[in-house]
Structure formats: C-alpha cells, structure tokens
Amino acid sequence: MVITQAIREANSPREVYLLLSAYLEAVRLGGEMIDPFLEIATAPLVSIEDVKKKTLKLFLMLQAVSKSLDDQSRGAVKEALYVFGAVLGRLKSLEGINIERRERAPVGGASV
C-alpha cells in the first residue's frame, strides 16, 4: 500500500498527520462507509493520543463487522487499521529520534 510506505518514510510528525489526513479524505470521497467509520474519518487527529483512540475504535469496529459477516466493511476497517498502525509506528519512531537528538545536543550552547 503506497500510503503506508509514505508514512513510514515521513520526516516529521506534521508530515505523518498530513498523510493520514490525505488518506482519510480519500476514504471520505470513496463513498461507501459505515456510520461509525465516518466518525473516525472526519474527526481531527492532531496528537498521538487521538490516533491511539481512533485505532482502538477501529479494533472494536472490526470485531462488530466481523460478527455481521460484512466483508466490504471488514476490508475497509482492516485497511484503516493497517494505515493507523503505520502512523502510530512512525510517530513513535520519530519521537525516539527527537529524544535521541536532544540527548546528544550540547548543554548550555555550542562548544568550541
């Protein structure tokens, strides 16, 4: 999936959120969505906590559509979980990179 590859290669959290927004916009424009998924696709996602909450909702939604044997909805929710998983992984990775950079930065300014 091209979007997940782009997410994994994103250079900043802002870029990750822009890619997630683009994915969600494509889902909205795609048409057929079950109502709970529409809530996830339209809600603003500006923090990793927002993404975690929506991922949990997607897991619960997957359980519900699996019980109803709705293959189309199940496929859409599984795809969204794959994308949201890539987002969470990249955000955590970028967070680790930023912490590492701060730890390596000289304290009290530049040294000569």
Average pLDDT, stretch 60-88?
88
Question: Residue 65 is part of which domain span?
Answer: 2-104
CB atoms within 10 A of CB 78: 14
Average pLDDT, stretch 21-44?
77
- With respect to residue 57, please indicate whether it lies within any of the assigned structural domains: yes
pLDDT tens for each residue of 34-50: 666 777 777 778 889 99
- With respect to residue 55, please indicate whether it lies within any of the assigned structural domains: yes
Run of H or E including 76: helix 71-104
- With respect to residue 63, please indicate whether it lies within any of the assigned structural domains: yes
- With respect to residue 111, please indicate whether it lies within any of the assigned structural domains: no
Give me the number of domains the chain comprises: 1
Give the C-alpha separation, 89 to 92, whole Å.
5
